[in-house]
């Protein structure tokens, strides 16, 4: 048992029982388990491979902090300063005659707004309005914001 455990450190007592039986030994698994525990044998855990940081195409170099405020982590979805709207942080609002205005902020192309009025009310200065072709019933449409409106196809506003 000890010899087989040394040869196969990743085998448990059940596999050792199978090996002994293949060699022609008549082995009781319960007795071998008791002897296994008394001998203090254990199956060695497989050591996991450590993933290296900084290798590969998009790798980063992980810095160790040498003093307070030396290493910072950040994750910005978009840049925004209170009171200032940057051109790079403008959102695109989508409008289509097949869309819906209920609970919709018009920012997902798959779920556009149905009316231009709703899209304008949801938009901020500097946003882009993508209006799909179709006929829109928009009485008294007033656009009081600085928006970039892009018309696709024939758009009729009544």
Cite the DSSP H helix spans in the chain. 2-7, 13-22, 29-38, 116-122
Residues 115-143, mean pLDDT to the nearest whole number: 84
Q: What pLDDT sits at residue 81?
A: 47
Rounded CA separation 105/44 (Å): 56
Res 67 pLDDT > 60: yes
Q: What is the CA radius of gyration of the chain?
A: 34
Residues 27-40, mean pLDDT to the nearest whole number: 91
Decide: 134 and 158 in contact? Cβ < 8 Å: no
Q: What pLDDT sits at residue 73?
A: 60
Comparison of pLDDT for 74 and 106, the residue scoring more? 106
Residues 57-65, mean pLDDT to the nearest whole number: 68
Q: Which of 21-30, 75-84, 127-136, 142-151 has the lowest mean pLDDT?
A: 75-84
User: What's the pTM?
Assistant: 0.42
Residues 6+ apart with CB under 8 A from 128: 90, 91, 92, 93, 147, 148, 149, 150
Best CA proximity match to 112, nearest among 126, 93, 125? 93
Percent of the chain with pLDDT strictly greater than 90? 13
Decide: 138 and 117 in contact? Cβ < 8 Å: yes
């Amino acid at each position: 048992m000890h010899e087989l455990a040394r040869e196969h450190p990743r085998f448990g007592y059940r596999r050792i029982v199978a090996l002994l039986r293949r060699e022609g030994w008549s082995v009781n698994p319960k007795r071998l388990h008791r002897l296994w525990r008394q001998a203090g044998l254990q199956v060695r855990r497989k050591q996991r491979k450590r993933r290296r940081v900084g290798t590969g195409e998009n790798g980063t170099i992980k810095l160790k902090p040498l003093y307070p405020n030396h290493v910072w982590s950040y994750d910005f979805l978009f840049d925004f300063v209170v009171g200032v709207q940057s051109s790079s942080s403008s959102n695109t609002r989508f409008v289509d005659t097949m869309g819906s205005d209920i609970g919709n902020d018009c920012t997902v192309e798959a779920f556009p707004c149905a009316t231009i009025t709703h899209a304008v009310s949801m938009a901020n200065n500097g946003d882009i309005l993508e209006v799909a072709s179709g006929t829109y019933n928009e009485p008294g449409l007033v656009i009081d914001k600085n928006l970039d409106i892009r018309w696709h196809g024939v758009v009729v506003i009544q």
